[in-house]
Amino acid sequence: MTADDSFGRLDDDDYPAYTMGRAAEMLGTTQGFLRALGEARLISPLRSAGGHRRYSRYQLRIAARARELVDQGTPIEAACRIIILEDQLEEAQRINAEYCRAAESPRETG
């Protein structure tokens, strides 16, 4: 991958652009907190060729939500479960909306 290819991917939410140190700094948390989210399987950072964790913007948004819940007194394991359930609910609502749109659209007759 060339430098130009990497630069073009910076707008990709799933591109693992952030090191653990930078991610922790951006979130105002510790690297240990990010490791705990990985151990709880809330986020799975990609690894660089050297084995270092790399985070995407999408993963940072999830980690920020976890930090918000933990800061409010929710245990980290419960915060992770809440976020997973929120994500599952959002996906179910999206699918349901698609089914409703499909049911409302005029059907083609052959």
* Tens digits of residue pLDDT in 19-63: 999 999 999 999 999 999 999 999 999 998 898 999 999 999 999
13 has pLDDT over 50: yes
Confidence of residue 105 (pLDDT cuts 50, 70, 90): confident
Please say whether the beta carbons of 81 and 101 come within 8 A.
Answer: no
Q: Which residue has the higher pLDDT, 99 or 5?
A: 99
CA torsion angle for 77, 78, 84, 88 (degrees, to 10)? 150
Q: How far apart are CA 35 and CA 6, in angstroms?
A: 26
Q: How far apart are CA 71 and CA 33, in angstroms?
A: 12
Return the residue matching tokens 């394991």. Answer: 77
Q: What is the DSSP letter of 43?
A: -
**What pLDDT score does 110 carry?**
53
**Average pLDDT, integer, range 77-82:** 96
Q: Which one, of 20, 107, 106, lies nearest residue 55 by Cα?
A: 20
Confidence of residue 2 (pLDDT cuts 50, 70, 90): very low
